[in-house]
Structures are given as C-alpha cells and as structure tokens.
C-alpha cells in the first residue's frame, strides 16, 4: 500500500519571482535528495501565495517527511487536505516534481477551470491531484521537446 498525503500551506518565501525561484530550486533539490533516500515521490505546485504538495510512499516515511516540512518557516499554516492509501504511486518518476504557476502553464490551469488565483482552501484534494498530474505531463512533454530540439 502506498500512503498519499495532500496538503496546502501559505508561501512565506520572501522576494520577487527571481528570489522565489532560487529558493524553490533549493527546496526542490533538498527534497529530491531526501525523498530518494526515503522512497517518497510526489509533486509540488506553487505560486506567490500558496504551496500545494502531494507526497506518496510508505506511510511512516510520508508522515515523517510531512512533519519535517510542516515545521519549515518558509511557509505557514500547513493544512492536510486528504490522506489515503492507494495501490500505486501517481508520480512514480518524481522524487519531487515542481511547477510554479507561470504564463507558460496557464493553459493547463485553464483546462482545470482555474482562470483566477488558486484557492486551495476551497478545493478538493482530487482537483489538486488531477491538476498536478497534468502539470507533470506538461513538464514531461516540454522536456522531451527540449531534447528533440537540441
Ligand atoms: C513547500 C515545501 C515543500 C517541501 N518538500 C519537501 C519534501 O518533499 N521532502 C523533504 O525532504 N523536504 C521538503 N521540504 C524541506 C523541509 O522542510 C526541510 O527543510 C528539509 O527536509 C530538511 O532536510 P535536511 O534535514 O536534510 O536539511 C519542503 C519545504 C517546503 C517549504
């Protein structure tokens, strides 16, 4: 059984887009290192206001990782949206994928009915997971395109 946990939190990373991207690269790089050690996979969606993250793996490892994340001062008010056990991972190839909301991925948001700002407080975890899966697919095809072009 794979344990899946979805939470949202308020982004308190300071600075403009550039500073935020630098901080996010750091967060993702540490996450990828720890998560590959702990058998955790998942996806992190973020904009200037929110983080929404899907964590999946062995239950104890997921809870341990979430406990560490929840104490991080780069965000606040971490709130679990859903926890469940599933048969298989949804993000098996991502020790932690990440997608910032940029104009480039706006189309994906629109396909999910998110024209305006994301408001995770009002969303169901299924909507987040479904958006994350499409952002993952978008990222995969973007990377493939880059490889073909080079
Ligand atoms: C939004 C957000 C998401 C994070 N996601 C992860 C994660 O998936 N895995 C992880 O190990 N750390 C994650 N972190 C970082 C942890 O809070 C913490 O800084 C890190 O796990 C400490 O690792 P270390 O003890 O190896 O230095 C995240 C932090 C933030 C702010």
CATH number assigned to the domain comprising residue 95:
3.30.70.100
Ligand 1, CB cutoff 6 Å, lining residues: 27, 30-31, 34-35, 44, 51, 53, 65, 68-69, 72, 74-75, 96
pLDDT per position in the chain (150 positions), as tens?
A: 999 999 999 999 887 888 888 888 999 999 999 999 999 999 999 998 999 999 999 999 999 999 999 999 999 999 999 999 999 999 999 999 888 898 999 999 999 999 999 999 999 999 999 999 999 999 999 888 877 665
For position 10, what pLDDT does the model report? 97
Give the closest residue (by CA) to ligand 1 atom 17.
69
Q: Which of 7, 34, 128 to mutate to test the pocket of ligand 1 (most atoms within 8 A of CB)?
A: 34
In the reported structure, the alpha carbon of residue 150 is separated from the centroid of ligand 1 by a whole-number distance in angstroms of 33
For position 150, what pLDDT does the model report? 59
Plot region of 15 (φ>0 → left; ψ -120 to 50 → alpha; else → beta):
left
Give the closest residue (by CA) to ligand 1 atom 8.
31
Q: Which of 31, 57, 62, 73 to mutate to test the pocket of ligand 1 (most atoms within 8 A of CB)?
A: 31
Cβ atoms of 115 and 109 within 8 Å: the answer is yes
Question: How many domains does the chain fold into?
Answer: 1
| DSSP notation for the chain | -EEEEEEEEEE---SSHHHHHHHHHHHHHHHHHHHHHHT-EEEEEE-SSEEEEEEEE-HHHHHHHHHHHHT-TTEEEEEEEEEEEESS-S-TT-SSEEEE--GGGHHHHHHTT--S---GGGS-HHHHHHHHHHHHHHHHHHHHHHHHH-
For position 145, what pLDDT does the model report? 85
Q: Containing domain of residue 85, as a range?
A: 2-149
């Amino acid at each position: 059984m794979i344990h899946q946990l979805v939470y949202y939190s308020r982004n308190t990373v300071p600075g403009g887009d550039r500073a935020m991207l630098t901080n996010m690269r750091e967060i993702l790089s540490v996450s990828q290192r720890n998560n590959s050690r702990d058998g955790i996979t998942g996806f992190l969606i973020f904009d200037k206001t929110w983080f929404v993250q899907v964590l999946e793996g062995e239950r104890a490892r997921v809870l341990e990782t979430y406990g560490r994340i929840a104490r991080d001062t780069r965000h606040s008010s971490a709130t679990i949206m859903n926890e469940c056990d599933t048969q298989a991972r949804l993000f098996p190839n991502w020790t932690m994928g990440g997608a910032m909301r940029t104009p480039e991925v706006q189309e994906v948001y629109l396909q999910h009915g998110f024209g305006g700002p994301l408001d995770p407080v009002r969303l169901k975890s299924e909507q987040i997971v479904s958006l994350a899966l499409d952002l993952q697919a978008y990222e995969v095809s973007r990377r493939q395109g880059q490889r073909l072009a080079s």
